[in-house]
Structure 1
């Protein structure tokens, strides 16, 4: 059985050596030989905000790792109304193994970098590598847990708690190692309209709650998008987490 090598092994493809998904994402389960094979069919690209990465009900012929940026997942009703149902961050896996059609749309909410590869290549590796299948299973379960947590947020939390929960979500993904007592700064990945959609609120309510958090000294807002959280622990208490 092939043994996976560390980042410094020259046999690992160049494009994989410093990749976040290589170490924390699903590709970390691949052997050196599998990485070499997958890299032959891999494409890295940058996409601008608003670019559709996957369309609802589209035939799935490729997967991707999110390397940087934020991707929003949406569902569309028959009359055209849409709902943001989730967000994906680096190094999340974009795609749904074992399905022939996508069930959600995936759109770049910010400038995004992705690493794409053919579905058939990874499906073959899933059959060969139990650890790869396990990592994909774990990510699916984590996404299920996140969806259940968000159901609680939308179903039981107040408007103030929802907005605080959203800021906490973005802060934690932007800097997973951030200390609760320290400052965390980030740019909002969504417009006010998208935040309102995601939280089930009006744009005016979102703006009022951000203003209240600012006046209470929990955050600062610059240029309408740049947020500094002065005390993450206080924000989490405000979010009732």
Structure 2
């Protein structure tokens, strides 16, 4: 079955600019894979055997420090590309935080396909530059923002990146966000303590900016105020 034809993120993924015949050829070298929460897709430092495109779910990118501690480098959302094409080793580990589906390719097959399809190579370059911009913004978030700004910016990013392709209230955003991380993981991502994260959640809820129906769900009540908090 040509799973590319029914792919929910096809128009946003790196294969979005390919023509039908090219999509069919790409489909022949890829396969769908389901990941359970906690299942590892890539291991830091291993040979770069696989690359993948996220179809749904959220995954974390992480690295191990010299003393063996995990450092979360970022999150991968639907339509994000994972792995290192044209590279020899995997620069980070990738683990599913929620149930996820990915489109997986052998790196050597994908490299050969990309070399012979300039539109895909161009899309890879665009995606790489976008990730570079996102990394720079992340550095500002971690290095310059206070705790309130960090959490507000994080919630806005989740709202934008996890929104469906069409949204009835506001295209491109979601007002109800399911958190893919625990409070401790959010603290690790933002460089805060779990106590600080919990206090900021409670403060925003008490001030009517968000609601917290459960520990894994956030409702954005006043987006403009959240944007102000994110500076």
TM-score of Structure 1 vs Structure 2, range by shorter chain: over 0.9
Contact 1:65 1:92 in 2 (8 A): yes
Helix, strand or coil: the match of 2:91?
A: coil
Cα shift at 1:183: 7.0
Which of 199, 208, 211 in structure 2 is aligned with 1:208? 199
In structure 1, the partner of 2:114 is 126
In structure 2, the partner of 1:3 is none
1:199-223 Cα deviation digits (max 9, x unpaired): 0000000000000000000111122
1:83-127 Cα deviation digits (max 9, x unpaired): 111111111111111211001111111111111111122111211
Quote the RMSD (CA, aligned, Å): 1.7
Helix, strand or coil: the match of 2:88?
A: coil
Q: Distance in 2 between matches of 1:83 and 1:238?
A: 26
In structure 1, the partner of 2:148 is 160
Which of 112, 125, 138 in structure 1 is aligned with 2:126? 138
Helix, strand or coil: the match of 2:51?
A: strand
Gaps of 5+ in 1: 1-12
In structure 1, the partner of 2:58 is 70
The size of the alignment, in residue pairs, is: 227
TM-score where L is the length of structure 1: 0.89
1:47-84 Cα deviation digits (max 9, x unpaired): 11111110000111121110001111011112211111
Contact 2:2 2:27 in 1 (8 A): no
Which of 206, 213, 218 in structure 2 is aligned with 1:227? 218
Gaps of 5+ in 2: none
Which of 98, 101, 114 in structure 1 is aligned with 2:102? 114
In terms of mean alpha carbon deviation, does 229-238 or 189-198 score higher? 229-238
In structure 2, the partner of 1:53 is 41
Helix, strand or coil: the match of 2:29?
A: coil
Contact 2:186 2:197 in 1 (8 A): yes
TM-score where L is the length of structure 2: 0.93
